Amino acid sequence: MTEQPLEPPAVVRSLYAELVVTDLDRARWFWVDLLGLVVEHEGEGRLFLRGYDELTHHNLVLREGPEPAADRLAFRVASPVDLERAERFFSARGCRTRRVPAGRVPGLGDAVRVQDPLGFVVEFVHQVQTVERLHQRYDLRRGAEISRLDHFNIVVPDVPRAFAHYDSLGFRCSETIEDDDHLYAAWMYRKQTVHDIAFTSGAGPRLHHIGFFTHEAAQVLRICDVLGSLHQEHHIERGPGRHGVSNAFYVYLRDPDGHRLELYTSDYYTGDPDHPVLRWNVQDPRRRDFWGNAVIESWYREATAVRGLDGQIQPAVEAKLDESAARVGADGLGTRPAQE
Amino acid sequence: MTEQPLEPPAVVRSLYAELVVTDLDRARWFWVDLLGLVVEHEGEGRLFLRGYDELTHHNLVLREGPEPAADRLAFRVASPVDLERAERFFSARGCRTRRVPAGRVPGLGDAVRVQDPLGFVVEFVHQVQTVERLHQRYDLRRGAEISRLDHFNIVVPDVPRAFAHYDSLGFRCSETIEDDDHLYAAWMYRKQTVHDIAFTSGAGPRLHHIGFFTHEAAQVLRICDVLGSLHQEHHIERGPGRHGVSNAFYVYLRDPDGHRLELYTSDYYTGDPDHPVLRWNVQDPRRRDFWGNAVIESWYREATAVRGLDGQIQPAVEAKLDESAARVGADGLGTRPAQE
Amino acid sequence: MTEQPLEPPAVVRSLYAELVVTDLDRARWFWVDLLGLVVEHEGEGRLFLRGYDELTHHNLVLREGPEPAADRLAFRVASPVDLERAERFFSARGCRTRRVPAGRVPGLGDAVRVQDPLGFVVEFVHQVQTVERLHQRYDLRRGAEISRLDHFNIVVPDVPRAFAHYDSLGFRCSETIEDDDHLYAAWMYRKQTVHDIAFTSGAGPRLHHIGFFTHEAAQVLRICDVLGSLHQEHHIERGPGRHGVSNAFYVYLRDPDGHRLELYTSDYYTGDPDHPVLRWNVQDPRRRDFWGNAVIESWYREATAVRGLDGQIQPAVEAKLDESAARVGADGLGTRPAQE
Amino acid sequence: MTEQPLEPPAVVRSLYAELVVTDLDRARWFWVDLLGLVVEHEGEGRLFLRGYDELTHHNLVLREGPEPAADRLAFRVASPVDLERAERFFSARGCRTRRVPAGRVPGLGDAVRVQDPLGFVVEFVHQVQTVERLHQRYDLRRGAEISRLDHFNIVVPDVPRAFAHYDSLGFRCSETIEDDDHLYAAWMYRKQTVHDIAFTSGAGPRLHHIGFFTHEAAQVLRICDVLGSLHQEHHIERGPGRHGVSNAFYVYLRDPDGHRLELYTSDYYTGDPDHPVLRWNVQDPRRRDFWGNAVIESWYREATAVRGLDGQIQPAVEAKLDESAARVGADGLGTRPAQE
C-alpha cells in the first residue's frame, strides 16, 4: 500500500488556461471580436471564453493585470477522488498544493492547484458547469471558428525531466524530436489526440502556446485573411503550414500581449492501447514544418512568463539544449518582417 | 462477487468488419482502386484493407462467397483479459461464443466471437499487428482518402433493446432520435467520437453501413466527382450532406454487392466524463440531413444480411417502429433516379 | 450597308436583375443578413445590392410590390454607342424600346430597355458608377460570401428560338442538353465563363434563377449550414451538388417570395476563339447533377413571373418540350420534404 | 492610314512557354509525375504538356538542352490576320521577326516569333489543335491538379519600359506596386483575369515564373503535402500564402533546373470596360503576401535566363530599382533552410 499515495490523478484532458493581459478591452478585441471565441461569463476584470463545440464553461480565462503572464494551466480529471489523488501525488513530490473551493472560479467545482516540479501552476478540476453547445450554430461562427481547446505547449529547460514528470502523471507519448543523444521535444496526451501537453526546449518555466482546434484547414487560412484585411497581419507569427509532428495544419498567432496561440486541425486518433511513439530526427527539416519552411526565430526564443502559486513571476532557467542551434546552418531560421 | 462474471469487456473501439462479396475482383475495384483503401494482405479469397491513418492490420476484410452478407463486426478490447470477460459476459446471456486462435485471421491475436443477443456475430480482439502508418504519405492517397474506420450502423427491429445491450457493454450514448413514446435511433461510443455503433430501426439483424472517417469535407466531394467521371454515379445512394445528428459531413455509397458505406467527417469530441445526450425529435427534418434534404427510401429499406456463428444468413425480424413512417407526408422520402 | 442597323450591341456581361418582392424587410433579411450581399444604396422601397468582388454599383435591385415578379434583366455593353445599337437592333425586330435617363436608376448612366422577342424586359447600360471593391475585406464577409453576379437562367417555351435570338445578339454557346431531335437547354456567354444567360424549357417567359459566383465550394456548403442552424433549411431547394453542365459546384435556394438563386463556383474559361460546344445527351443522368442525384420537381416546374415594359405580369406560354418528361421513369424526379 | 501598320495583334491570352531543361526524364518526373500535367505529345527530346481544363494542345513545352533557359513565351491571337499585325508591329520597332510554318511546333498552326524590345522571344499563334478536355476526368487528376496556364512573370531592369511596351500591345493593367517616384511591378491582362503577364524589377531579360491556375486553395496545399511526403520539400520556394496583389492563393515551386512556377487560384474578373488599376504602395507589407510573411530572398534574386531568336542566352542588364531594397529593414527578407 506504500505506493498508493503516488497513484496519479486520472487526467481526462487539458481544460483551460488563465492568462494575465495588460488591457482587457484590447484582449477582448483579439480573442472575441477577431478570433471569435464565445464569451460565457465576464466580471471582476475577467473574461471566460470557450470554443463552439465545447460543453464546458470555459477554455480560457483572461484576467487584467500589470504584466503579461500565464497564471495557471488546468486539466480536467475523471472523478472527484482524483482531486485528492492530485494533492497526494504532488505533496509526495514536495510540491505546494492548494484547494480552491467550488465557485471561486466561475463555472468550476472544487479544484486543486499545485506548483508542479517543473515550476508551473497546474489546476486539477472535475466538476465543470455544462453550458450550451453551439456546434451547430453556424450562424454565430466568426473569426477562426475555434471548436475547442486542444493542448498546452510549455517551455522547459530540461525536456527529459518534463517528459518523466508527465509520464508519471499517466500521460502517453505520441511523437518526439530527438537525436542519438538528446530529447529535444515531446508530445503527450490523455485524450485520444496527439497531445494535451507538449514540451519545447528553452529557458523555462514559460508557456509556449495554447493550441485550439478547428475543424478544417479553411478556418486557419481564413483568420489569416481577416488579419490581413484589418492590417493586423503582424499578429501572425509563423505559418500557416503543415506540421511534420502531428501532421496537423497550423498557424501561430500572437495576441496583443505577445501570448502565443496555435490554430490546429487534422491530427489523428491515438486511443489504441499499443499506440507507438513516432520519433523525428532533429535533422529532419520537415519535423516542424512538413513543407520545409523555416521556423521563425521568435517562435523558438519568445514565450509567456508564468506565475507561481504566490502570484509572482517565476524566474526562467536557461536550457542547455537548443533545438534551433542543432540546426544552425541547416534550419536557417526565418524572420518575419518588422512590424510597422 | 456474483456480479463479477458480468463485468463487460473493456471495448476500445470498432476495429473491422468482414463482408462477403460475390466477386472479389469487382469488390477490389470498388474498395481499393476507387475508394483507395490500402491493401495490407490478400490471399485465400480474402482482401485485408485499412485506412491511411491506421496502425492496425485491417479495418475491412472482403471475402468471396455465394451471396452478399456481413460475416462479423469486430471491436478491439483494452487487454487480453477482456477476451475472457467477453466470453463470460455473453455466455451469461445465453449467447454462443467461440475462441479464435491467434493468426487464424491474419494480423490478429486471440479473439472471441459471439452471436450477440441482437443476432449479430461480434468479435472481440486485443492483439493486432501494428503496420506502417501512411498518414503522411500524401503521395499515395487516392479516391476518398479514408483515414480510419469510424463506426458500424446496424438495423435492429427493437432499438431500445439494442440500446440496453450496448449500454450494458459499457457504451455511452451521444445522440438519439426519439419522440415522447419511442426511441427510433441511437448513437453510442467507446472511443471519444460520436459513435462506434449506431442503431437504425428496421427488419433485423442486418448491417446498415460501415462508417469510414476522412479528414475534410473535400474528400467526400471528391469521391463523388470521381464516381461521376467514371459514370459510376449510381454507387452514390444519399448525400453528400451535413447530418443533424453528429454534425458530420457525409455521403452514403453502395458497393457492387449493395453493401453500404458512409464517408464521414468532422464530428466532435465526446470524452468528457459528463458528456450529455443530444436528443433529436423525430419530427425535426434536420435530424438526418441538417439541410432538410429528403432521405432516400432505399436508405431506410435496404441493408446487408448478416451471418450467424454457423455461417448461415440470419432471418430478419420486422420492426414495429418505422422512423420513415413517422414522417410520412412530412419527410417525403426522396428517390434516386433508376440506374441506367 | 443595309445590315448595319442590325449590328447588335456589344454585350460585356450580365450586370443586374430587378426583382419585385412583397416584403422588403423580409427580403432584406434573406439577401443581406443571411446571404451577405452588400447594401450599396437604399431608398424609395428599393435595395441595391452587390457581391464583394464587384466594382459596379449593384447586381440586384429588390423593389417592394404587390406580387413577386422579375421586373427586368440588365446587361452591360462595351460603349455608349451600343445603346443606340440596342435600340435599332430591337426596333428592327418589332420590339418596344424605351430610353431611361442617367440617374433614374441609382448608380447607372443612360440605359435602353426593350421587351425582347422572348417576352422579357432587358436593359442595356454602359455607364455604371464604380464603387469600393471589398474583395479583400475578409473581415466583412458573411453568409454565402457572394463575389459577383454570374448569370441569368430564363424559362422559355421554345429553346431553339431563345438560342437563335441570343446568337443574333452575339452570344456564344458553351454547352447544351439535347437529343437527336431536340434542344432542351443551352448555356450562352459573353464574358469568358460558361454563361451569362441560359435557357430552361418550360412555360415562359419566366425567370428561372439568378446565378451568383462564390470562390470555393466551401461557401456553398456554409450557407446551407447556416440555413440549417436557423431552421430555415426549407430555403434550400436543390443541392448542393456538382453540375455535369458547366462542372460548377452549386446549390439552389428560394427567397421568401420564391425567387430562385443559384450559388455557383468553379466553372471554366471560355475565352479562346474556337471554344467548342459541349453537348450533353438528355438521357445522361449526370447532365444536371454529375453525381446522379435526382432533380427536384419544383426546380423544373416553378419560376418567377416576369413583367412587361408596361409593368404588367406577362402571361406564360406552355412549352411543347419537357426535359423532365423526357426522363420520366429514368430521372425519377426527387422531392423535398414538405416545409414545416 | 500611316498608323495602321502599328495596330497591334489582338492577343487573346498567354498560351504556352517553352523551357530548356537539362534532363528531360527528371523534368518529366517533376512536371508530369509530381505536378500532374497531362502529356499530350512527346518526341524529339520534347514533352508537350497541358492542364486538365485546356482544349489547346499544350501550355508548356519542355526541351532537353545543355543549360536551363526559357526558349520563348507564346500568346494566342484572335485571328490569322493578327500574325501579320504582329510582324508589322514588331518590325516597326526594329525587332527581328520570324515566321514559323504550321506543324513545326506540334499542335500549332502558322506562328510569328519576334525578339521583342525587352529582349524576350515571344511567339504569336492563332491556330491551335483542339484536344480532349479532361476537366471532368476527376479520376485522372493528381498532383497539383493544374487547370490551365494563367500567366507569365518576367524580370526586367526597367519596369516602366515593359509596361509601356505591353500597353502598346493592347494589354490593360490590373494592379501595380509603386511609390511616389517609381513603378516597381505591374500586372497586365488580355483575358478577363488579373494578368497574362507581369513584371518583376531585376536583372533582365529573365523569366521569373510561369503561373498555372488551380480551382481551389486545397490543391495548392496538397502539392506541398505531396512534396513533403517524398522529402522533396526543397522544391517549395515560397508560400503557400495569400497575395495582396491579385488576392490569389499561391505557392512558388522550383523545378529540378531551377525554373520557377506558381500555383495560383482565386483571383478576380477584370472584364468590365472601366476596370480600374489597384495600386499598392511598396511599403505595404501585405502587397506580396497578404499575411505579411517575408518574401524569400531567392524569389527576388533568381530567375531563368532567356534565349534570343538566335538560340543564344541573352545577357541580363542589372536593374536600377530594387523592390526588395526599398524594403530593407522593413521587409526582412526570409530564407529557406538549406537543402539537405
pLDDT score at C328: 41
Q: B336, C244: Cβ pair inside 8 Å?
A: no
First to last CA, chain B: 63
Q: Are D198 and D187 in contact (CB under 8 A)?
A: yes
pLDDT exceeds cutoff 70 at B327: no
Distance, CA of C166 to CA of B254 (rounded, Å)? 43
Mutation pick from A284, A288, A291 vs chain D, by most beta carbons of D within 10 Å, is A291
| Angular region, D330: left φ>0, alpha ψ -120 to 50, beta rest | alpha
Q: Which chains touch D (3 or more CB pairs under 8 A)?
A: A, B, C
Cβ pair A292:D330 closer than 8 A? no
Measured between alpha carbons, how far is D331 from D324 in angstroms, rounded to an integer? 7
- Nearest CB among A224, A285, A291 relative to D340 is that of A285
Q: At residue B49, does pLDDT exceed 70?
A: yes
Q: How distant, in Å, are the alpha carbons of C204, C205, C300, C309, D151 from that of C314?
A: 9, 7, 19, 10, 47
Measured between alpha carbons, how far is C86 from B118 in angstroms, rounded to an integer?
74
* First-last CA distance in chain C: 63
Q: What is the tens place of the pLDDT at every residue in A200-222?
A: 999 999 999 999 999 999 999 99
Q: How many residues does chain A have?
A: 340
Give the dihedral of Cα atoms C32, C37, C41, C42; nearest 10 deg: -20
Question: C-alpha distances in angstroms, A143 versus A149, B32, B81, C24, C142?
Answer: 16, 39, 48, 30, 11
Can you name the residues that pair with B111 across neighbouring β-strands? B100, B125
Judged against a pLDDT cut of 60, whether residue D4 lies above it is answered with: no
Residue C139, min C-alpha distance to chain A (Å): 5
| pLDDT tens, residue by residue, C91-130 | 999 999 999 999 999 999 999 999 999 999 999 999 999 9
Burial class (CB in 10 A: 0-12, 13-18, 19+), A137: middle
Residues of D within 8 A of B226 (CB-CB) are 138-139
Asked if B138 and D226 come within 8 Å (Cβ–Cβ), the reply is: yes
What is the mean predicted confidence (pLDDT) over B311-316?
Answer: 97
Half-sphere exposure of D57 (CA within 13 A, CB side): 19
**What is the overall mean pLDDT for chain D?**
94
Contact C172, C188 (CB under 8 A): yes
pLDDT value at residue C2: 47
Is A276 a residue whose pLDDT tops 60?
A: yes
User: Which chain C residues are Cβ-neighbours of B220 within 8 angstroms?
Assistant: none
Q: What share of chain A is helix, strand, coil (3-state, %, to 5)?
A: 20, 35, 45
Q: Which residue of A has its CA nearest to D289?
A: A228
Torsion of CA B105, B106, B110, B113, to 10 degrees: -20
C-alpha cell belonging to residue B163: 440500446
Please tell me which residue of chain B has the smallest CA distance to D222: B138
Nearest Cα of chain C lies from the Cα of A214 at a distance, in angstroms, of 15
**Interface contact B272-A12, CB threshold 8 A:** yes
| Rounded distance between C-alpha atoms, residue A224 and residue A253, angstroms | 9
Nearest residue, CB atoms, A229 vs list C137, C229, C230? C137
The residue among D195 and A323 whose pLDDT is bigger is D195
Q: C328-332: long-range contacts at Cβ-Cβ below 8 A with a sequence spacing of 24 or more?
A: C329/B338, C330/B337, C330/B338, C330/B340, C330/C283, C330/C285, C331/B337, C331/C285, C331/C294, C331/C295, C332/B335, C332/B336, C332/B337, C332/B338, C332/C294
CB atoms C276 and D244 under 8 Å = no
Query: Can you give the pLDDT at residue A323?
Result: 85
Q: What is the ipTM of this complex?
A: 0.94
Find how far residue C71's CA is from the centre of its chain.
13
Instruction: With beta carbons under 8 A apart, name residues in chain B contacting D228.
Output: 136, 138
Q: Which residues of B touch A76 (CB under 8 A)?
A: 272-273
State the Cα–Cα distance between residues D117 and D114, nearest whole angstrom.
9
pLDDT band at residue A90, thresholds of 50, 70 and 90?
A: very high
Among A126, A135, A269, whose Cβ lies nearest the Cβ of B247? Answer: A135
For the record, the C-alpha cell of C129 comes out as 458608377
Paired strand residues for B66:
none
Pick D137's closest partner by Cβ from B139, B222, B229: B229
Nearest CA in chain C to D191: C271
Residues of chain A with Cβ-Cβ distance to C215 below 8 Å are none
Distance, in Å, from the CA atom of A41 to the CA atom of C316, rounded to the nearest integer, reads: 58
Average pLDDT, integer, range B54-76: 98
- Residue-level pLDDT at C336: 63
What pLDDT does residue C332 have? 43
Q: Where are the beta strands (DSSP E) in chain C?
A: 11-21, 38-43, 46-50, 60-64, 69-77, 97-100, 111-115, 121-125, 148-156, 172-178, 183-189, 197-201, 206-213, 236-242, 249-254, 260-265, 278-281, 304-305
DSSP string, B27-41: HHIIIIIIT--EEEE
* Chain-centroid distance, C-alpha B272: 23
Q: Identify the contact set of chain D against chain A, taking CB-CB distances under 8 A.
A: 217-218, 221, 224-225, 227-228, 231, 233-234, 236, 240, 242, 244, 249, 283, 285-286, 290-294, 327, 329-332, 334-338, 340
> What is the torsional sign of CA B90, B91, B92, B93?
positive
Which residues of A fall within a CB distance of 8 Å from D337? 285, 292, 294, 327, 330-332
Q: How far is D325 from chain A (nearest CA, A)?
A: 13
B24-43 average pLDDT score: 98
At A333, the pLDDT band (50, 70, 90 cuts) reads low
Place of cell 464583394: C52
Cβ-defined contact of D225 to A236 (cutoff 8 Å): no
- For residue D303 the three cell numbers come to 530567375
Among D78, D192, D269, beta carbon nearest to C273: D78
Task: Quickly tell me which residue has 487560412 as its cell.
Answer: A221
Dihedral (Cα; D264, C192, C50, C95), 10-degree rounding:
180
Q: What is the DSSP letter of C229?
A: H
Rounded CA-CA distance A146/A34 in Å is 11
Chain B residues with CB-CB distance to C242 below 8 A: 221, 224-225, 228
pLDDT 10s digit of each residue in chain C, 340 long? 444 548 999 999 999 999 999 999 999 999 999 999 999 999 999 999 999 999 999 999 999 999 999 999 999 999 999 999 999 999 999 999 999 999 999 999 999 999 999 999 999 999 999 999 999 999 999 999 999 999 999 999 999 999 999 999 999 999 999 999 999 999 999 999 999 999 999 999 999 999 999 999 999 999 999 999 999 999 999 999 999 999 999 999 999 999 999 999 999 999 999 999 999 999 999 999 999 999 999 999 999 999 999 999 999 999 988 888 765 433 445 556 544 3
pTM: 0.96
CA–chain centroid gap for A123, Å, is: 14
Return the SS3 of A326: helix
Neighbours of chain C (3+ CB pairs under 8 A): A, B, D
- Reduced 3-state DSSP string for A207-268: EEEEEEECCCHHHHHHHHHHHHHCCCHHHEEEEEEECCHHHCEEEEEECCCCCEEEEEECCC
Q: A28: part of which helix (H) or strand (E)?
A: helix A24-28
- Candidates B53, B128, B271; nearest CB to A12: B271
Q: Can you give the pLDDT at residue A143?
A: 97
